Chain A
C-alpha cells in the first residue's frame, strides 16, 4: 500500500516546525511516532500535502514532574512511559496503561501526544488521561494554549486543534500526596482494541477519597467519563459498599454495543467488575 505523495520536512527546532505548520495550515500534519498516521496514509484515509516530522526536535522527549503533576513531551513514546519511574505510584493509571497499548514494537515509536491528537475514540490513553484530569498544551506561531482533555476531544478522530497548531505537551495535574490508580484492559489479543478498558485514578484525603477519576474505553462512541460514579466517590470512604456502588454507576454510564468483541450486556458487566477491581487496587486492598 502506497500513500499519496507528500512534501517532507524534518525541522530541527520547534519554531521552525510551527512556521511550517502555519504555512501548510490544514494541509500539513505532524509526524511523531507515525503508528496511526502512516497506516491512515497507506489506506489513503489521510493524504496530507506535507508532513512535518518533529522527531529531530530536541527537548520534546521528556517526562517531568512539574508542580507535583507531570508534563509529558510530544515525543514521549509509549515505551518511555512503560519504563518511567514517574508513572508509577500516584500516576499508576498511566504506568499501567502504557504496556497495554498496541504491541511492544509499535510502543517503541508511538507517542502519547500523538495518540491524543489522533483521537481514536477507542484509544487507551484517552481514558487513562481523562481519569487524571489531564490537559493538552497546544502551540502555534500565534501562541500557546492549554486545553482540558475533555474539551480537546471533540468527536471521533476530531480534536480542538486548529490548523497550524500542534500538541507540545500533555499536562497531568497534581493529585495530591496520596493517590493511586490503575488501567484495566480486556483485549482479545495483543494489539487489538479494548473489548473494555477502565481507568481508575483516586486521590485520598484523610483516609477518604478526595477526588476520583473513572473513564471507560470501548463502551461508547468515545472515551467516556463515568461522572456519576466519580461524584459518588468524592469524599466517601472507599469501603465495599462505595466500591460496589461506583461499579454499578459506571456500568450504567457505559453505552456499549454488541459486536465481535462481545455483547453489550457482557461489556457492561466487565465495566462493573473492572471498576470494582481498580478501586480495590487503588485502596491498596488487592492486586487488580
Chain B
C-alpha cells in the first residue's frame, strides 16, 4: 500500500488575468501558485529565473506595476489586473533596451543567471534616480546577488545605461 501523504487541503483555483509585457494573459491558476512559476510554466516566459527560492537572491525579480518584486515571494493571484514586466518585455521594436545594450557592451554578466533580475531592478531604479553615483547603484542592487562576483561590470553597465537613457531623455 502506498504511503498516504498528510492530508492536504483541497486544491483551490481561480481565474487570473494580468497584463504581461503589454499583453493581456489569462489562466486558471492554483491560489498557491507562485508568480515566478506562473510566468515560467504557465506562460512559458523562462527569462525570469528561480535562483534561491528563498527571497534572497533576486534572480526572479520582475516589475509589478513598475515596482521590482521577487516573484518567488508573490502569489500569482495577487497580480490580478496588474501589469507585469519581465526581461522578455525590456526590448522594444527598435531592438535591445539601453539597459540590455549596456550589459552586453560593458560585459555586465558572466554566467547570466542573475542578469534578468539585475536589469529589471536597475531599470526601475534609474526611472527613480536617473543620475546615480556608484554607491547608490550598489545600494539599489543590494537585493540582487551575482555569484560570479561580476559587480564591477554590472555597476559600469548601469552607469552606461543611465548615460544613454539621459541622452535619449527617457
Contacts and interface: CB of A to CB of B under 8 A. Distances in A.
B18 interface: no
A2 B36 CA distance: 12
A3 interface: yes
Contacts of B132: none
A49 B78 contact: no
A186 to B, nearest CB: 16
Interface string A35-58: 100110110000101010101000
A2 B32 contact: yes
Closest 3 A/B residue pairs (Cβ): A103-B143, A105-B143, A8-B31
A5 B10 contact: yes
Interface of B: 8-12, 14, 30-32, 34, 53-56, 58, 61, 67-70, 73-75, 77-78, 80, 121, 139-144
Interface of A: 1-8, 10, 31, 34-35, 38-39, 41-42, 47, 49, 51, 53, 55, 102-106, 108-109, 190-191
A272 B90 CA distance: 49
B53 A35 contact: no
Contacts of A106: 55, 70, 73, 143
Contact of B69 (A4, A47, A109): A109
B31 A7 contact: yes
A82 to B, nearest CB: 11
Contact of A104 (B54, B73, B75, B143): B143
Contacts of A10: 77-78, 80
**Most A Cβ at <10 Å: residue of B30, B68, B75:** B75
A47 B9 CA distance: 9
B32 A5 contact: yes
A104 B55 CA distance: 12
Nearest to B30: A5
A6 B32 contact: yes
Contacts of B8: 4-5
Contacts of B74: 34, 38, 109
B9 A8 contact: no
A191 B143 contact: yes
Contacts of A41: 32
Given A3-B32, A8-B31, A106-B143, A34 B78 contact: yes
A5 B58 contact: no
Contacts of B9: 4-6, 47, 49
B145 to A, nearest CB: 9
A227 B58 CA distance: 39
28 contacts: A3-B32, A5-B11, A5-B12, A5-B32, A6-B9, A6-B12, A8-B75, A31-B78, A34-B75, A35-B55, A41-B32, A42-B34, A53-B78, A103-B58, A103-B142, A103-B143, A104-B141, A104-B142, A104-B143, A105-B61, A105-B70, A105-B143, A105-B144, A108-B67, A108-B68, A108-B69, A109-B69, A191-B56
